[in-house]
Amino acid sequence: MKDDQLYLIHIRECIGRIQQYAAGSRQDFLADTKTQDAVLRNLHTMAESTQRLSPALKAAHPDVDWRAIAGFRNVLVHDYLGVNLALVWEIIEQHLPALKRKVESILASLGKTQARTRSGAWQAAPPTGRSIMLIVHVHVHVKSECVEAFMAASLENARNSVKEPGIARFDVRQQSDDPTRFVLVEVYRSVEATAAHKETAHYAKWRDTVAGMMAEPRKSVKYDNVFPDDSGW
């Protein structure tokens, strides 16, 4: 059980790093070879850790497609140059958030089991890590004829986004001397919140609505919070 717990923690950490590296848009990911390399390395490491989990733990959680994860690991090892980056992005957006939630659920149950073994009574599992705020500036250049439509779609998305518990701020800013350029200032209370945001209906609507409005691919820059501290947001 102890080894399983260590590997599960490692899997969760790999997913967290992947979500942080890929916190920008699909276009950002497909255009940035450094991000691609970092994501693929952590996907490989994550998949390796799943293979080291005990057969008993895997059997106890058949809702996770352990075989598919192992198969993807083999592709990364033996056919690295043939990796489909569009498929990798789909995995990041659609599959990793659910896997992370499942891993956290398993870790919580293992923590309770260990606490019960020690004391004979159920106890809450200890905290498994501290969330760190993530700030993302998304730089957007839209076609001149799309400025008003982009602004309307982005304001609707921002108004809904600030209602999410994991988001501290979601600003839409327009450049003074060039109205076709915007910066979206997104302040997340944790890396996990970025993944949760991308699962929302309002984000999906915004993404699809503005896809054809871009004059060039969106670019994102990630920042760590320095001041005010996390409690000040």
Phi-psi region of 217 (alpha: psi -120 to 50; beta: other; left: phi over 0): beta
Assess contact for 43 and 18: CB atoms under 8 A.
yes
DSSP state of 164: S
Sign of the Cα pseudo-torsion (219, 224, 225, 226, in order): negative
CA pair distance 23, 166, nearest whole angstrom:
14
CA pair distance 184, 220, nearest whole angstrom:
9
Active-site hit among 17, 26, 52, 73 = 73
- Of 37, 46, 51, residue with least CA distance to 10: 46
Respond yes or no: is residue 78 known to be catalytic: yes
Which helix (H) or strand (E) segment holds residue 46: the answer is helix 33-51
Sign of the Cα pseudo-torsion (181, 186, 191, 193, in order): negative
Active-site hit among 67, 78, 118, 130 = 78
Catalytic residue annotation:
73, 78
